[in-house]
Structure 1
Amino acid sequence: MDEIDELIIEGLRENARISITELSKQIRLSAPSVTERIKKLEDRGVIEGYTVKINHKKLGKHITAYILFDTHRCQQFVQFCQSYTDVTECHRLAGQYSYLVKIVTEDITTLESFIDKAMYYGKSSTLIVLSSPITHRETIR
């Protein structure tokens, strides 16, 4: 991957809906060359897909929390998380805790309900997000 590929990825990261024409102008490369490079990045698996950034608060989901779980019932816990629509991420960890779960939910009541149900699988420690000065950012270097 060279500097031009990095510029293409940066342009797509800022706006995944940018037209090839506009992206080619930004990086000063022909549109066919940009298209070819994007295709190669996709074929190599560097670009896995294109997503939508959702404003959860506008959907009535005002609480974001990260919950650390210590469990020995890993497979069942993962199935529980997969069935719970407010769970947006679930990561297996090494160390003191088994999993880190990100939940985006309506309010403290729905968060507490999730925690209560999840306690069946083990112990938890909850961290509630107050603000997010940096949200999702992909790194390429």
Structure 2
Amino acid sequence: MLDQTDLRILDELSKNSRITMKELSERVHLSSPATSARVEKLETAGIIEGYTIKVNQLKMGYFVHAMISVIMKSSHHEPYLSYIKAQAPFVIQNYKISGDSCYLLECKFPSNAVLDEFLVGLSEHVNYKLSIIISK
């Protein structure tokens, strides 16, 4: 069971996973060894699965943000999943969902031309509905 200190540690690490243990311990009002022990406990319990970075997609040149609802043409999903794996640089997330669609793809593309090329390949495997993100 997580207590308030564990929740504060998780909150601080989610804001900045590169924070030093010294800084983290000051923010959660514990000693550095106690903070390190709690972080290790959270890692061992599988609550903290890893540390990552947040990449600015616009600065990387990915200007087109799209959500694509995927409707399978058949019950055989492997060709679609292989295509998505091959298109990994553009795919942010491939959610398996319930409802009108089978999957919801979140993607970023450097241009509409690259998006169009992606959709042409995608249409060989599935039907889809495209939504472009205008703003957050």
With normalisation by structure 2, the TM-score equals 0.93
Mapped partners of 1:83, 1:26: distance in 2: 42
Which residue in 1 is equivalent to 2:98?
94
RMSD of aligned alpha carbons: 0.9
The equivalent of 1:111 in structure 2 is: 115
Q: Which has the higher helix share?
A: 1
User: 2:78 is matched with which residue: 56, 75, 78?
Assistant: 75
> After the TM superposition, which parts of structure 1 deviate over 2 Å for at least 4 consecutive aligned residues?
none
- Tell me by how many angstroms 1:88 deviates: 1.6
Matched letter for residue 123 of structure 1 = N
Provide the C-alpha distance between the structure 2 equivalents of 1:78 and 1:61, rounded to a whole number of angstroms.
Answer: 22
Report what 1:62 is aligned to. 63
Partner of 1:14: 15
Query: Cα distance, 1:53 vs. partner?
Result: 0.6
Q: Deviations over 1:47-91 (max 9, x none)?
A: 111111101111111111110010123121111101102112111
Tell me by how many angstroms 1:123 deviates: 0.9
Report the counterpart of residue 127 of structure 2 in structure 1.
123
Could you tell me which runs of 5 or more consecutive residues in structure 1 were left unpaired when the two chains were aligned: 133-141
SS in structure 2 opposite 1:94? coil
Mapped partners of 1:127, 1:46: distance in 2: 33
TM-score by length of structure 1 reads 0.90
| Identical-residue share of aligned pairs (%) | 28
Write the distance in 1 (CA, Å) between the matches of 2:26 and 2:68: 44
- In structure 1, what residue type is equivalent to 2:3? D
